[in-house]
Structure 1
Amino acid sequence: MTEQQQVAGPASTEDAQMNEPANEPAPAESVVAEPAPAESVVAEPAPAESVVAVPAPAEPASAESVVAEPAPATTAEPAPAESVVAESAPADDTLAATATATATATEPEPEPVGAGVRSPKDRRVLRAVLRWTAAVGVFAAVASASAYGITGMERTDVPGLATQSDGRWDFPALVRAPLPSGSPAPFAEANEANAHYADLRALLLPAPKGATPDKALNGADGWLPTKDYLAEYAVADDRQELGQTLVDSGLRHIAARGWTTPDGTRTRIYLLQFGTAAVADKLYAGEAVPFSNPKHQVQGDSTSVYDEDFPDRAAVSGVERQVYREQKPYGPEQVREAYVSAGDVFALIVQSRKGGAGAVPFQQTVALQSQLLG
């Protein structure tokens, strides 16, 4: 009886240990004897309740079985403390995780933006595009209107583009005189005589806009008498000598035109036509001495000299000229004159103005008249 109690004593002690809470550390020898495999603990953790709820067999074991074969660590011993803490989740956390997963699975997906209702961002972008489109349209309309207004204005009317007048006159558009049927131009290859077949009166330069015509130079039917031409020269002897030269040279007729501009400049143009270009060229050479004074002095001119400042751009093919200007001290008026030779036509152009005759209007008049003769 005593031996059975001794044998049962250890069993009771063992039962008491089995009934202790699972979080007590296991005996050192059981942990060393058979530790639980690490992969089994990580892959399939034992539920916390299984460690606590499964007790050892209630039957008493014999002394030999107690001594020789201790109870297996996996059955009788609880899992290590660290594995219990790391792998056994509290019941509350499990329920919270389950509830979250369920709510996520059952929550409906949000309706995609733009499926019928524009987002506020899209509406802002659309309004910005519409505003910029309207602004560009207004800008284009204003720019077009401005461009049209500027192109319809004269250069002198546009601020910033207006240039100060250099004294040029506003002449009408020049039109070449019509030629008789089958007649060549004066300097065409077929016209070896360089004769002008067009009406000489149609070769005169028209008066500029705003000028007052000089009716005294119109003559009868547009032909000026020789004496009226000779009156342009100041010295009586010069008039007589030149008159005889014109008769000997076979002068055919004279066409003249004159005008006075608002600034007081008086212009006179005389076109003298001869039978051949050789005769006209001889008269030109006798009257217009190159780089010197003209042979005969015109009215109001006392000290004329060759005008070296006259531009070469006024030259016209087939037309020659000699240009003079009165130098100081001149009388009440300054005189500018030009002698022109163009085929069978000899021309004299005179301009005068009180206080000084402008160089630009004179250059313009000589150049345009040379073009009509060429």
Structure 2
Amino acid sequence: MSEQTASAPASAPAPAAPPPRRVLRAVARWALAGAVFAGLGTGVAYGLSGMERTDLPGLSTRGDGRWDYPELSLPALPVGTPRPFNPENAGEIHHADLRALLLRAPAGATPDKKLTGGWVSTERYLSEYTAEQRGDLTTLLDDYAVRHIAARGWTMPDGTVSRVYLLRFPSSGLAAGFKLGAVLGSGVGETVAAAPGAEPDAAWPDSPPGSEMFVSTDVYAEPEPYGPTQARHAYVGAGDTIGLIVHEKKGGTPAVPFHQTVVLQGQLLG
């Protein structure tokens, strides 16, 4: 680097205007996303090897409150495309139709006429949050370029209302950046409108049976005292896709079928 000259110019140039706050926020989020992406390959390592069939959610006896879900099956991939965690798939992209990766409703469920397993708008997804949360979440969805949102909902005979959303981003790094900004960073999306006082679910095990490798979960429950209904919700992250699962029931939401739903949706994504 050359030395500074002794004589100063007659008039110094005007300082450059600071970048807009939106740009600063985006730069910070990209930096955080990069940090997440660097460690994303390790995932959350829950193995399936050596497990008994009765340990898998949906395959045990029905006396413990689990729902009777249809047998899981992965959708066919376009010819020549790898699975999301294949070494040849650097972006960890789910090439299958996002709608085909949604968990199907269990036996006895009444389908939601508006959340039928098809595409939904960003506004419909944002309706799960309070009005105060939606502005920041809209910015995050825009910054990380969400591509598609699919959703399915149903109501069980005991009154439990279930809603599952899948959000697809252009890459695993952008999906991780959204999750970090919405849940782990600012926390603007850590709660949902149905459970404004939600806390991390203490009943969620550190190593849930049946959980897939490379699938991360953040699970929340509304503690007592709650209002007329209690809600539980969870974020499931896998590659380029983030899932939001919400269960809500008057008088209290059972933990067992909720945890079962989270694990099974993770299996479909992992």
Secondary structure at 1:288 match in 2:
helix
Q: Which amino acid aligns with 1:303?
A: G
Q: Which residue pairs with 1:369 in the alignment?
A: 265
Q: Is the 8 A contact 1:218 1:224 kept in 2?
A: no
Among 243, 265, 268, the residue aligned to 2:138? 243
Query: Is 1:310 the equivalent of 2:208?
Result: no
Q: Which residue pairs with 2:111 in the alignment?
A: 213
Residue 284 (structure 1) shift: 1.1
Among 98, 116, 134, the residue aligned to 1:200? 98
Alignment of 1:1-374 (within 5 A): 165-218=63-116, 222-234=118-130, 236-289=131-184, 295-311=189-205, 312-314=207-209, 315-374=211-270
* Identity across the alignment (%): 50
Q: Which amino acid aligns with 1:270?
A: Y
Bigger CA drift: 300-309 or 195-204? 300-309
Residue 229 (structure 1) shift: 0.7
Structure 2: distance between partners of 1:297 and 1:197: 30
Residues 304-357 of structure 1 deviation map (CA, whole Å, 9 limit, x = unaligned): 111122122243101111101000111111110101111000111110101100
Residue 164 (structure 1) shift: 7.1
Residues 202-236 of structure 1 deviation map (CA, whole Å, 9 limit, x = unaligned): 000000000001121238xx2101111101112x1
Q: Which amino acid aligns with 1:283?
A: F
Q: Is the 8 A contact 1:293 1:304 kept in 2?
A: no
Q: Which residue pairs with 2:17 in the alignment?
A: none
Secondary structure at 1:267 match in 2:
strand
Bigger fraction of residues in helix? 1
Q: Which has the larger radius of gyration?
A: 1
Structure 2: distance between partners of 1:285 and 1:243: 15
Normalising by structure 1, we get a TM-score of 0.53
Residue 272 (structure 1) shift: 0.4
Q: Which amino acid aligns with 2:145?
A: G
Residue 244 (structure 1) shift: 2.0
Structure 2: distance between partners of 1:276 and 1:318: 14
Structure 1: gaps (5+ residues): 1-162
Structure 2: gaps (5+ residues): 1-60
Residue 250 (structure 1) shift: 1.0
Q: Which residue pairs with 2:15 in the alignment?
A: none
Structure 1: distance between partners of 2:143 and 2:267: 29
Structure 1: distance between partners of 2:256 and 2:188: 21
Residues 49-70 of structure 1 deviation map (CA, whole Å, 9 limit, x = unaligned): xxxxxxxxxxxxxxxxxxxxxx
Secondary structure at 2:268 match in 1:
helix
Structure 1: distance between partners of 2:262 and 2:188: 17
Normalising by structure 2, we get a TM-score of 0.73
Aligned length: 208
Q: Which residue pairs with 1:31 in the alignment?
A: none
Residue 293 (structure 1) shift: 6.9
Residue 245 (structure 1) shift: 1.5
Secondary structure at 2:114 match in 1:
helix
Q: CA separation of 1:216/1:164 partners in 2, compared to 1, >3 Å: closer, same or farther?
A: closer
Structure 1: distance between partners of 2:189 and 2:164: 18
**Greater relative contact order structure (CA < 8 Å, 6+ sep):** 2
Q: Which residue pairs with 1:84 in the alignment?
A: none
Structure 1: distance between partners of 2:196 and 2:146: 28
Q: Is the 8 A contact 2:144 2:177 kept in 1?
A: no
Structure 1: distance between partners of 2:108 and 2:88: 40
Q: Which residue pairs with 1:142 in the alignment?
A: none
Structure 2: distance between partners of 1:178 and 1:210: 27
Bigger fraction of residues in strand? 2
Secondary structure at 2:119 match in 1:
coil
Q: Which amino acid aligns with 2:123?
A: K
Structure 1: distance between partners of 2:92 and 2:123: 27
